[in-house]
Amino acid sequence: MSTMPVVLPISEMQRNSAALADEAMRSKEPIYLTRHGKSAVVVMDAAEFDRRMAFRDALVAREERVLAGIMQGHREIAEGHGVPLEEALAGLGADWGV
């Protein structure tokens, strides 16, 4: 279950920076600071931020590899290197005894 994000005016950082940093490190959740009612800055535990960015980077890299494989398949089919479905299924059946 996700919790509501913490949203505070940026002036809170000026008044209580140490307490704000302590809360960010304790909760491991971002704290959104606003200026004139609009999001301006996010304060977050550095280790948690690094962990989330590493996860995001790994996910993006995986998606790029999947897309590259799909695009390679499209190119191979366009170049006439594809195998008809019936032939592929027959080959699988022979290989797997199905």
Percent of all residues in the chain with a pLDDT value above 70, rounded to a whole number: 97
Q: Are 20 and 29 contacting, i.e. CB atoms less than 8 angstroms apart?
A: no
Q: pLDDT tens digits, residue range 39-55?
A: 999 999 999 999 999 99
Q: pLDDT tens digits, residue range 52-80?
A: 999 999 999 999 999 999 999 999 999 99
Q: Phi-psi region for residue 44, left (φ > 0), alpha (ψ -120 to 50) or beta?
A: beta
The answer on pLDDT for 1 being more than 70 is no
**Nearest Cα to Cα of residue 10 among 44, 39, 34, 38:** 34
Partnered with residue 35 across adjacent β-strands are 38
Q: What is the pLDDT of residue 95?
A: 80
Q: What is the pLDDT of residue 97?
A: 77
The answer on pLDDT for 38 being more than 90 is yes
β-pair type (6-9, 38-43): unpaired
Second CATH level (architecture) for the domain 1-44: 3-Layer(aba) Sandwich (3.40)
